[in-house]
Structures are given as C-alpha cells and as structure tokens.
C-alpha cells in the first residue's frame, strides 16, 4: 500500500484483499455498485454508463444488472429483443413462451405476436394456437384468430360463403350453410352437407 499522507483518505494504491477507490483515495473491501474490481491494478473502476452494475470490466456488454427502465440481455442493458419480455421485478429480458414471437410476460397466455410463418395465430386471450378454435379462422393479414360468420360452424374467412362446416340442422353447400338444400341436392345428415 502506498500513501501521500497519514490518514486513510491519503491512499494511492492498495494491497489484496483491499481495493483502491480513487474518488475517495481510500482502500475498501468492496467496490460497490457501478464499479468493478480490476485485479491488475487492485482498484475499483467504473462500469459502463449503461450498466447498473458489472463484475468483469468496463464494456457495455459486461453488465450484470441494469437500472430501472432498462433490461439485461446478453450482458447489455437496454430494451428487450423480439422473443423476450421486460421483467420489471428483475430488470432482465426473460424469454417468451415458445409459441410467442413477442409477449408481455412468460406464459402462453401473454403473447402479443405469434409465428404466423409456422401457422400460429393469436387468440383474444393472448394465446398462440394452431389452428384457431372452432367458429374462428386465422386472419393472415393480422395474424389473429377472428370469428367466422355466425352462420358457420367452421370457416376459412369472415364471409357467409366461406363456411367449411355448419351448426346442427344446417347443411354445407358451396361454402354456405343452408337449412334446405337446393333442387337437385339432398340433406345428408351424416356429413352435414348437401
């Protein structure tokens, strides 16, 4: 240890296990937040300004915790990438459920965007499903499950002519659900079709 005076606030260097705190000109046993312990100089050095704390060095990718409003992901503090959600309790980016591309929390009911390229659609309850529930169809333009026309049991789109099956007592004919089949067709109760 070297000093330039007789008090504890006159230190210039420190010896293990103490660390030199330059701003206070003193030796400490813990550098505290926003600083890391630099073993080559036995000193406390500043973390990167984006970090809430760090342990290994001054880089923006060497954070171990983040300040309020930023979130830790892969050693850096900032906003969360797609597929992760900002956990305010820990200031970390936590992964979304595997069915979500984007989410507000980690369960399969917290999705805000689903993987449409693999056939997943977002329901009103925040869940990604494949396929959409009965009486709904997958709207490719929004990536959401939408209601079929009320005349349909299942469908491919919102229109009354896009039915693929009908409620009991109705019969499918050319995409429509009808009560009575047109001339030349008969009501087949076993298939629900004309």
Q: How many residues does the chain have?
A: 194
Cis peptide before 17 (omega within 30 of 0): yes
Render 23-58 in DSSP notation, one character per residue.
Answer: TTTEEES---TTEEEETTTTEEEEPPTT-SEESS-S
Closest to 16 (Cα-Cα) out of 45, 35, 32, 38: 38
Reading phi first (left if > 0) and then psi (alpha if -120 to 50, else beta), residue 175 is in: left
* pLDDT value, residue 13: 86
pLDDT confidence of residue 142:
94
Ordered per-residue pLDDT tens for the chain, 194 residues? 677 777 777 788 888 899 988 888 899 999 988 899 998 889 999 999 999 999 889 999 999 999 999 999 999 999 999 999 999 999 999 999 998 999 999 998 999 999 999 999 999 999 999 999 989 999 999 999 999 999 999 999 999 999 999 999 999 999 999 999 999 999 999 999 99
The pLDDT assigned to 103 comes to 97
pTM of the entire predicted model: 0.72
C-beta pairs of 19-24 under 8 Å, 24+ apart in sequence: 19/43, 19/44, 20/44
Residues sharing a CB contact under 8 Å with residue 113, sequence separation 6 or more, in sequence order: 100, 101, 102, 103, 122, 143
3-state secondary structure of 9: helix
- What region does 69 belong to: left with phi over 0, alpha with psi -120 to 50, or beta? left
Q: Please name every residue paired with 75 in a beta bridge, in sequence order, or none if there are none.
A: none
């Amino acid at each position: 240890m070297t000093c330039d005076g007789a008090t504890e606030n006159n230190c210039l260097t420190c010896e293990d296990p103490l660390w030199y705190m330059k701003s206070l000109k003193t030796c400490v046993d813990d550098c505290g937040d926003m600083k890391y312990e630099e073993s080559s100089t036995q000193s406390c050095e500043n973390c990167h300004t984006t970090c809430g704390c760090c342990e290994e060095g001054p880089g923006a990718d060497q954070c171990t915790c983040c300040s309020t409003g930023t979130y830790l992901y892969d050693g850096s503090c900032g906003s969360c990438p797609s597929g992760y959600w900002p956990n305010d309790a820990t200031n970390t980016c936590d992964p979304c459920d595997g069915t979500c591309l984007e989410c507000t929390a980690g369960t399969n009911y917290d999705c805000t965007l689903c993987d449409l390229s693999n056939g997943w659609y977002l329901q009103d309850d925040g869940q990604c499903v494949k396929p959409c529930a009965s009486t709904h169809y997958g709207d490719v333009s929004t990536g959401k499950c939408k209601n079929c026309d009320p005349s349909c049991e299942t469908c491919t789109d919102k229109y009354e002519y896009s039915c693929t099956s009908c409620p009991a007592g109705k019969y499918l004919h050319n995409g429509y659900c009808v009560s009575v089949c047109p001339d030349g067709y008969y009501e087949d109760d076993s298939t629900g079709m004309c």
